[in-house]
């Protein structure tokens, strides 16, 4: 076992779940990140961790300090929930154990409640498979220094080495077996957290994270695992282990501490009166996928008894719509929301893992925001490893009908390998589903600028993930005007990133103590 003369901050730092008076700051101590027992080579004892929060990145003006007891039972993870800070401003934080000082991270408090702010810079991303490529997109995301980062799931993948092979070949290896035990999940999180580009993204801004399926098991649904034909009697224990490791490795509040197989992850965040984020969990409470999952013609998908959210979360969401006075209501969630019918005839062939497999559940949500008079509903989605933009229809079978919201879908950070560019009109789902307006099969994320008058979404892509250090550009930009609920494309060609993105990288890299990305 390593001793504490070794740097314990190998997994970086993070912040999350900002409020108007504070946020969570996180680290996890590990001197040997991939130790077999999942405990990072740490001594089997309590470690006192000092923390500091400052108003400047040189820590000349200290706003708060304290200590936290990191214990073996929580894999020496640190979650400090701060309050008493000033609203709507930037802070910096760091940790110390003995002579070792962590990298510095940047966090931002939300604006004062009920205030209307001029602008929010928010990015959202999903699906980062370590084996499929380098996390270059995370580095570019960090360089933007946004106010808020939403991660919509598939933060890590559960597979053993070379089980899931990219079309371009796997360029890095997963360590260890398929994750099933608590030690397995802790090691896998540590392997991902050891990546410097992911560390940069965590250090750059506060995260608001929810899971999808691969944090536990592909396409899991409630207590049903991926392949019910293959008995997995330990699935409940596996679920509890995955939930415990997820909490230990993400900057979450104590309200999300797991209790066995249960974990409260859906929650709400307000950014003054400008925006409300309804962060959802479409895995833990859903009915099992209909018709054996997959793309199917499936009458059971329309069963009104079926739910992707569960009754309690659905009522929480509908109540949030009724109470909202925000200019923009954004649903941060995992799987494709709008209809994607790939049958060109009178039947429907849809993905049973998405909201298409729970059409009555989707209908209750959309009617809920319409009945509540939600001013600007926007659905934010991950999961499908491609960029999409579309309009949510009151009736998807009537393409001339009313658009009642928009959906923006982020591609993967790496999953699926390099992908490819092309004419969105060549995707057969777009002419078959005219409410879908854009498709791109490259890797990347979506950067948004939200103001009282409009939401601008920039679909950013990297040309390759099989080699590190790729450049980034904007493949398309869409604008949603206040009260419009339709998409307006401003460009559909590659555009070089704005100069401010390049300049921002110096601050991020200086905090992390690394050279700037070229």
DSSP string, 417-449: TTEE---GGGSTHHHHSTTEEEEEEEEEEEEEE
Which is it for the CA torsion 488, 492, 497, 499, positive or negative?
negative
Q: Is the dihedral of CA 61, 66, 71, 77 positive or negative?
A: negative
Give CA–CA dist 133/103, Å, rounded: 25
Report the CATH fold assignment for 111-512. Purple Acid Phosphatase; chain A, domain 2 (3.60.21)
Q: Percent of the chain having pLDDT more than 90?
A: 91
Average pLDDT over residues 412-423: 97
- How is the chain split into domains, by residue range? 111-512
Alpha-carbon Rg for the chain, nearest whole angstrom, is 22
pLDDT for the residue numbered 499: 37
pLDDT > 70: percent of the chain: 95
pLDDT band at 5 (very low <50, low <70, confident <90, very high): confident
**Per residue in 163-174, pLDDT tens?**
999 999 999 999
Using CA atoms, how far residue 38 sits from 2, 217, 248, 258, 456, in Å, is: 14, 19, 12, 18, 42
Give the pLDDT of residue 508.
47
pLDDT for 509 = 52
pLDDT at 1 > cutoff 70: no
**pLDDT for residue 486 is more than 90:** yes
Structure tokens at 300: 């059971």
Q: Which residue has the higher pLDDT, 489 or 507?
A: 489
pLDDT tens digits along 131-160: 999 999 999 999 999 999 999 999 999 999
Question: Is 153 in contact with 212 (CB distance < 8 Å)?
Answer: yes
List, for residues 188-235, the tens digit of each pLDDT value: 999 999 999 999 999 999 999 999 999 999 999 999 999 888 888 899
Q: What is the helix (H) or strand (E) element at residue 458, kind and residue range?
A: strand 454-462
The arithmetic mean of pLDDT across residues 291-310, rounded, is 97
Q: Tell me what pLDDT residue 497 has.
A: 56
Cα angle 276, 280, 285 (rounded to 5 degrees) comes to 155
């Amino acid at each position: 076992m390593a001793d504490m003369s070794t740097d314990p901050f190998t997994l970086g730092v993070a912040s999350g779940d900002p409020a108007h008076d504070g946020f969570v700051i996180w680290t996890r101590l590990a001197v040997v990140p991939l130790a077999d027992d999942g405990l990072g080579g740490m001594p089997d004892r309590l470690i006192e961790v000092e923390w500091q929060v400052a108003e400047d990145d040189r820590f000349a003006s200290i706003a708060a300090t304290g200590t936290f007891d990191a214990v073996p039972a929580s894999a020496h993870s640190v979650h400090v929930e701060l309050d008493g800070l000033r609203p709507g401003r930037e802070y910096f934080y760091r940790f110390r154990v003995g002579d070792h000082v962590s990298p510095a991270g940047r966090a931002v408090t939300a604006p004062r409640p009920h205030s209307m702010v001029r602008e929010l810079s928010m990015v959202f991303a999903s699906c980062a498979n370590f084996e499929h490529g380098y996390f270059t997109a995370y580095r570019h995301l960090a360089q933007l220094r946004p106010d808020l980062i939403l991660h919509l799931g598939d933060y890590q993948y559960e597979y053993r080495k070379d089980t899931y092979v990219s079309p371009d070949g796997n360029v890095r290896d997963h360590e260890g077996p398929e994750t099933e035990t608590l030690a397995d999940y802790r090691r896998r999180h540590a392997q991902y957290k050891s990546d410097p580009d992911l560390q940069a993204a965590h250090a750059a801004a506060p995260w608001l994270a929810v899971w999808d399926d691969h944090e536990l098991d592909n396409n899991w649904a409630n207590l049903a695992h991926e392949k019910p034909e293959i008995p997995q009697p330990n699935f409940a224990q596996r679920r509890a282990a995955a939930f415990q490791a997820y909490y230990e490795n993400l900057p979450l509040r104590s309200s999300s501490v797991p209790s066995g197989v249960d974990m409260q992850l859906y929650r709400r965040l307000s950014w003054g009166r400008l925006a409300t984020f309804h962060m959802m969990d479409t895995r833990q409470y859903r009915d099992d996928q209909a018709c054996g999952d997959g793309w199917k013609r499936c009458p059971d998908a329309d069963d009104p008894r079926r739910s992707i959210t569960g009754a309690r979360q659905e009522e929480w969401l509908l109540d949030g719509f009724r109470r909202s006075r925000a200019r923009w209501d954004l649903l941060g969630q995992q799987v494709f929301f709008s209809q994607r019918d790939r049958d060109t005839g009178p039947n429907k062939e849809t993905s049973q893992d998405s909201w298409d497999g729970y059409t009555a559940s989707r209908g209750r949500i959309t009617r809920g925001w319409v009945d509540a008079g939600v001013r600007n509903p926007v659905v934010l989605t991950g999961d499908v490893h491609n960029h999409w933009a579309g309009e949510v229809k009151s009736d998807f079978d009537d393409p001339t009908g009313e658009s009642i919201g928009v959906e923006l879908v982020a591609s993967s950070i790496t999953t699926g390998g390099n992908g490819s560019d092309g004419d969105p009109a060549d995707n057969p789902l777009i002419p078959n589903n005219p409410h879908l307006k854009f498709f791109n099969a490259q890797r990347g994320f979506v950067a948004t600028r939200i103001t009282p008058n409009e939401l601008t979404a920039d679909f950013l892509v990297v040309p390759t993930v099989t080699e590190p250090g790729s450049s980034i550009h904007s493949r398309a930009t869409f604008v949603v005007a206040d009260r419009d609920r339709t998409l307006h494309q401003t460009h559909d060609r590659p555009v070089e990133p704005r100069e401010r993105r390049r300049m921002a990288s110096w601050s991020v890299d200086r905090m992390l103590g690394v050279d700037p990305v070229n």
